[in-house]
Amino acid sequence: MKLTKMMMALALPSLVYAAAPAVSNINVAQDEQRLVTISYTLAGADAIVMMDVLTNGVSIGKALYANATGDVNVKVRQGTRKITWQPRETWPDQKIRDNSLSVKLTVWPLDNPPDYMCVDLTRPSTVVWYISSNDVPGGVTADIYKTDKLLMRRIHAEGIRWRMGLAGDATKQRAHTVTLTNDYYMAIYTMTFAQRNKFYTTGNESGKLPDNSMSYTALRGSSANWPTAGHSVDANSLIGKLRSHSGIDTFDLPTEAEWEYACRAGTATRWSFGDSDAKAVVSLYAWYNSGTSSSRHEPGLLIPNPWGLYDMHGNMWEWCLDWYSDGDAFCKTGDDVIAPVGPVSGSYRCLRGGSYAHYDTHARSANRDGGTQSPGSPYTTIGYRLACVANFNDAQ
């Protein structure tokens, strides 16, 4: 088939890592049906490949080529690869007529992926990445990320020393310092019924409300005893099913330390938005028992924390991996801990974030509870938010 004039193509230099991936041999053309084909060679290592289309050096805007398919925004194997893009009706003439248009391909090593990751819950092994929240199709608050897809934000935590807990809170968690050893992804929202029902249908409820039907044991499995069994989960648990569906074998609940670090979003205050306990301020960020309303709410309706995570304060308590303990049994003031995993045994699993049925003080960044609810039972005010390691070198 006859091809029109080729576009100029440009490969951005890859980030410098051992066995760094790189693209070459980029060729871009358009056929008589206006379909644009971009072929390239990826060498050095598997990688995540991102694309930008520019006219006279300025991006045309990702909305115009969001329908590009093939080896773009995904984990790409080494070799000759292809992207196809059908220009939309809004594209002038829908044809390439001169050399003013160029394509940039950027490669991201699998151990240093882009900040946003999206798992399609309706299609197996379909995981895509986006550089920023502005690149997420439809925006991060679109309904699809509360029903058919799981949207996650990378938390840059490796090697950062920070204060966990709250000074003066001796009964539950003494202030101490923590250093995490991995970056990780945290779900933008707590899991909803619609998302859960893609894998593990229990009960009759559906829709965009937070799922409160899963116990800790149902999430991970009856034989998955953290921390003695590590991140092992039962295959028929919800997380086991999600691992199998997505091909990402590090999916799990966050540890307490991972949860609090993500909630704080770089802050050391009572809340991720500051120290104010004024109801008018807290109500902008958190659903809590204000005396006038006490029910679950669709996630994403209030202001997110500085890292774009919604409902870290209030709405639902969230299961964490760790066994619950108080005071010195949890830590001593001034402790300096590397990647804490919590006690080796206990009666209750730790809960974080507060809920719609509890006072606003329960929703502060450092507040924690073990409740009285058995890990084997669900509870109306308890939901969950999933995490995974931000390194895909070993994930298939």
| Contact criterion met (CB below 8 Å) for 143 and 158 | no
354 pLDDT exceeds 80? yes
Q: What pLDDT, on the 0 to 100 scale, is given for residue 220?
A: 98
Q: What is the DSSP string of 279-327?
A: HHHHTTT-B---SS--S---TTSS---TTS---SSBSSEEEEEEEP--H
Task: Tell me how far apart the alpha carbons of residues 125 and 18 are, in angstroms, rounded to a whole number.
Answer: 27
Question: Average pLDDT, whole number, for the chain?
Answer: 89
Q: Give tens-digit pLDDT for 178-212.
A: 999 999 999 999 999 999 999 977 655 668 999 99
Query: Domain-by-domain residue ranges, the chain?
Result: 8-109, 113-396
Q: What is the mean pLDDT of residues 158-171?
A: 80
CA pair distance 178, 351, nearest whole angstrom: 19
Portion of the chain with pLDDT greater than 90, in percent = 72
Within 10 angstroms of residue 16's Cβ, the number of other Cβ atoms is 7
Residue at token pair 């799990």 = 252
- The predicted-structure confidence for 298-310, as pLDDT tens digits, reads as follows 999 999 999 999 9
* Alpha carbon distances (Å) from 151 to 136, 242, 254, 309, 343: 9, 14, 16, 10, 30
Query: What are the start-end ranges of the H helices in 177-271?
Result: 193-196, 216-220, 238-246, 256-264
User: What is the CATH number assigned to the segment(s) 113-396?
Assistant: 3.90.1580.10
Residue 340 has pLDDT above 90, yes or no: yes
Q: How far apart are CA 184 and CA 339, in angstroms?
A: 12
In a 3-state reduction of DSSP, which class is residue 93?
A: helix
Query: Tens digit of pLDDT for each residue in 33-92?
Result: 889 999 999 999 999 999 998 888 888 888 888 899 999 999 999 999 999 999 887 777
Measuring CA to CA, how many Å separate 282 from each of 279, 294, 359, 367?
Answer: 5, 15, 11, 15
pLDDT-derived band at 97, boundaries 50, 70, 90: low
Identify the CATH number of the domain defined by range 8-109.
Answer: 2.60.40
Please give the full DSSP string across 359-390, using - where no structure is assigned.
-GGGGSTT-EE--S--TTS--TTEE---EEES
- Give the helix/strand (H/E) hosting 149: strand 149-155
Instruction: Note the pTM of the prediction, 2 decimals.
Output: 0.92
- Identify whether the C-beta of residue 103 lies closer than 8 Å to the C-beta of residue 26: yes
Q: Are strands 184-187 and 149-155 parallel, antiparallel or unpaired?
A: antiparallel
The predicted model gives 9-19 an average pLDDT of 48
CB 317 within 8 A of CB 355: yes
Q: What is the pLDDT of residue 372?
A: 75
